[in-house]
Amino acid sequence: MGAQDTVDRADGRAADAEGVRERETRREQTHLDAVYRRLEEKIHEAEFLMDDAAKRGQVGTPGALAERDAQVFRAGIHLNRLNSEFEDFLFGRIDLLDGKTGERGPDGAYTSVEPADDAVRPDGGADIAETLHIGRLGVLDADYAPLVIDWRAPAAAPFYRATPVTPGRVVRRRVIRSKGRRVLGVEDDLLRPEIRATLDGEELPAVGDGALMAALGRARGHAMRDIVASIQAEQDEVIRAPAASVTEVEGGPGTGKTAVALHRAAYLLYRDRRRYAGGILVVSPTPLLVSYTEGVLPSLGEEGQVAIRALGSLVDGVEASAYDDQPVARVKGSARMVGVLRRAARGALELGEVPQRLRVVAFGSRVELGADELRAVRRQVLGGTAPVNLMRPRARRLLLDALWEKSGAARRHAHDPELAAEVRQGFDEDLDEETDFTDFLDAWWPELTPRRVLAALADEKRLARWARRMLRGGEVRLLARSLRRLGVDGTGPLSVHDVALLDELRQLLGPPAARPRRQEDDPLDQLTGLEEVTTAADRSGPRRRRPDVEEERRDYAHVIVDEAQDLTPLQWRMVGRRGRHATWTVVGDPAQSSWTDTDEAAAARAEALGGRPRRRFELTVNYRNPAEIAELADRVLALAMPGSTPPEAVRRTGLVPRFVAAVGADGADGADGADGEGNGEDLLGRTVRAEAERLLAEVDGTVGVVVAMGRRTQARQWLAGLGDRAVALGSLEAKGLEYDATVVVSPAEIAEGLSPREFTEGGPGAGGAGLRVLYVALTRATQRLTLVSGPRDLPDADGVPDLLRD
């Protein structure tokens, strides 16, 4: 056979393969068209329900209004879901052998996982008994046969769980790439290649061989995509794990922890919507990660039941906008602050001008309590354990007791207890109406707000008294200075750590006493006896709250904590209050922790989770980073956490990390001053900008420039005018995010400026945390990585910084 014959045969096979691909794509397009026709029918049904509900509302009776409202609410949700056309609405298919049982589930699919004993004939042939298409929502045809299986349904599990080692009934797994109503292509995995399977009398074809790798190579945008089309077995096991007690998930960079957490929220709602009607709270470390992930749940068919909140916005009415340096953050986040705040909550009663004498008129004569007597009453009140604001009624009662005793009336009526009780009641009622008494009580036991008490910590001398034997002198100075940005009443910018302090103070202070409010009569109430009728629109509108009282939901049915390794002890206490009766999913990676005292954080975490049983999972495969990038990051991991095992990268690109040194002849980088405000023309800035421009030309998606937290403003100036695809962010903001390409600027600065010799075991406590932050920065890229070194990195002739040399 000649060379030309070989080429011709190869061309023929390629043409045949292309023909099979086109034919299979057309078949999936035909099925997708049928799905959308059925969706349109369901949309018309939902619109009819909406119209019918509007007519019911014209009846005017309370019963009709309630029925109308419930119907509008249900139909509105249904219509909203049906009208949403997401990319990859239909994304998967599995072709299955005959199963051991013939039972059908509620989605119309057979429930059997294992093939029947006679599913494969002795000659190796088999018939495909069932084909299931997997999508974001379940769709049944008019005869209730499944057109699409919801990805969360038990019948869809083999799409994610089946492997060539344990294929179960799955012969072929197909990933369908679609956009809107158009099928773009298909990729197949044959999980039982030894079987000659037929479907409708034709041999089962296979198209392509890289469905997962194709999904991993897609360009990144600024929003997280769901992973329903590429969930792997170990991820699916976590997503579908029972919700009882606490599910703990550990995994290194790129293992899909955040995506798994969000998909788990959608799955739990699908499996037991009634149980989780109390809501699911997803806690993320930063607003950047919230904005990156918040679009995932709607695309999974879930919206409204899940709250995704950053730690800095976990308290309603409060939004963290300031940043604390690491030394300050370590003080504010420490569990020692609980004791400091407990003293502050009580000591704040002495703020301002506190009256030292109480004078009232009782029974026609003046009764007076002096400073010593008032101090004794205050000590007696504070002997209780109730929150400070809730002690106010006790303070009032003990003041009245002291005044009653001082008046001598108790002695005068001691012979007649019944008369004494009657006189005492009149005494209390008279004083409660005395302006002198009520004004004194307001000044002597004021209603305290968390913001006001937090602002009081800015007084260094006062804080030193409250923090005695709990904080060191240097820590007191750092804490007091950081809070001077607040006004006397606590107004001003707050950091994410301040929010946790506020939440702790709210617990210690308790809510202020409710002010009596005059209720105006509503003529409708008199006519119908109906106090309130609300509609779905009313309830979905902006929440109304008293402007002087901060309120938020504080009791969720399930709490998911993302990047849990970064929560400080005070933040664990804050999150724990929102999940007292909840089940939990806790997702994190100790190797990425930026908190220095991991033992202290572990104790606070254990307290927040309580005695609930634990179920632990580990994700071991790095789907984000190419092996070339992962290997470099693993060097830092070995320094930060000796003996730890990194996740295994599943792909290679041949693109090794690039090293660039931005060091002038005099060893300077040209940065302008210690405040990090550069003019955009210094050597480091020019180098970073040039690398960002080069990477923008090489990748289709985003480029992240990661700098030390103090350089964030400067880095944004370096990237000015490069467009939305280039993003500058601080090293602590990068957690959970990913970019097609990353520029990591000055690894030594990110690792707190310490040399490798200082990162040895027994070295400074901050060293390990700094290296873990650098490890995070090095693992954000899905394709390309550049490291730009300054003088502090001590780069060699090739630009490789001291920290990363072998």
Place of tokens 């919206």: 303
| CA-closest candidate to residue 130, choices 204, 186, 194 | 204
Q: Provide the pLDDT for residue 574.
A: 96
Distance CA 284, CA 494 (A): 18
Q: Provide the pLDDT for residue 374.
A: 94
List beta partners, residue 115: 99
- Supply the DSSP symbol for 99: B
588 annotated among ligand-binding-site residues: no
Distance CA 638, CA 645 (A): 9
List Cβ neighbours of 716 (8 Å cut-off, separation of 6 or more): 728
List Cβ neighbours of 437 (8 Å cut-off, separation of 6 or more): 358, 360, 399, 431
Structure tokens at 9: 């045969």
258 annotated among ligand-binding-site residues: yes
Backbone angles phi, psi at 584, to 5 degrees: -135, 150
Structure tokens at 574: 């804050």
| CA-closest candidate to residue 408, choices 393, 424, 422, 395 | 424
| CA-closest candidate to residue 593, choices 617, 569, 620 | 569
255 annotated among ligand-binding-site residues: yes
Q: Provide the pLDDT for residue 533.
A: 39
Give all strands of the β-sheet with 703-707 in edge-to-edge order. Answer: 658-661, 781-789, 739-745, 703-707, 726-730
List beta partners, residue 361: 366
Distance CA 649, CA 628 (A): 9
Distance CA 494, CA 500 (A): 10
516 annotated among ligand-binding-site residues: no
Q: What is the pLDDT of residues 39-69, one digit of tens each?
A: 888 777 766 666 666 555 555 555 555 555 5
Distance CA 663, CA 434 (A): 76
Per-residue three-class SS string for 612-679: CCEEEEEECEECCCCHHHHHHHHHHHHHHCCCCCCCEECCCCCCCCEEEECCCCCCCCCCCCCCCCCC
352 annotated among ligand-binding-site residues: no
257 annotated among ligand-binding-site residues: yes
| Residue 119, number of CB atoms within 10 A of its CB | 19
Strand pairing class (170-179; 90-96)? antiparallel
Contact 255, 233 (CB under 8 A): no
| CA-closest candidate to residue 123, choices 196, 18, 15 | 196
| Structural fold of domain 233-314+552-620 | Rossmann fold (3.40.50)
Report, as ranges of residue numbers, the positions in the chain whose pLDDT lies below 70. Answer: 1-18, 46-88, 208-231, 288-289, 291-304, 513-553, 664-681, 753-767
- Supply the DSSP symbol for 792: G
Tell me the residue type at 626: P
What are the residue ranges spanned by the domains of the chain?
23-209, 233-314+552-620, 328-511, 627-804
Contact 79, 174 (CB under 8 A): no
Taking CA atoms, 758 is separated from 245, 762, 770, in Å, by: 41, 9, 11
Q: Specify the length of the chain in residues.
A: 806
Backbone angles phi, psi at 361, to 5 degrees: -105, 125
Helix, strand, coil shares, percent, the chain, to 5: 45, 15, 40
Give strand ranges (E) for 337-487. Answer: 358-362, 365-369
Contact 473, 463 (CB under 8 A): no
Place of tokens 């390629």: 14
| Residue 421, number of CB atoms within 10 A of its CB | 10
pTM for the whole structure: 0.70
Give all strands of the β-sheet with 125-127 in edge-to-edge order. Answer: 125-127, 196-199, 202-203
| CA-closest candidate to residue 259, choices 209, 217, 216, 219 | 216
| Residue 467, number of CB atoms within 10 A of its CB | 25
Q: Do domains 233-314+552-620 and 627-804 have the same CATH topology?
A: yes
The helix/strand/coil state of 123 is coil
Distance CA 18, CA 205 (A): 12
Work out the burial of residue 658: count CB atoms within 10 Å of its CB; fewer than 13 is exposed, 13-18 middle, 19 or more buried.
Answer: middle
| CA-closest candidate to residue 445, choices 344, 517, 351 | 351
Alpha-helical segments (H) within 97-220? 157-161, 211-216
Inter-helix orientation angle 627-640/765-778, to 10°: 170
Work out the burial of residue 701: count CB atoms within 10 Å of its CB; fewer than 13 is exposed, 13-18 middle, 19 or more buried.
Answer: middle
| Residue 430, number of CB atoms within 10 A of its CB | 14
Q: Provide the pLDDT for residue 178.
A: 82
Q: Does domain 627-804 have CATH number 3.40.50.300?
A: yes
The helix/strand/coil state of 700 is coil
List beta partners, residue 202: 199
For 520-538, give the DSSP string: PP-HHHHHH-------HHH
Q: What is the pLDDT of residues 442-471, one digit of tens each?
A: 999 999 999 999 999 999 999 999 999 999
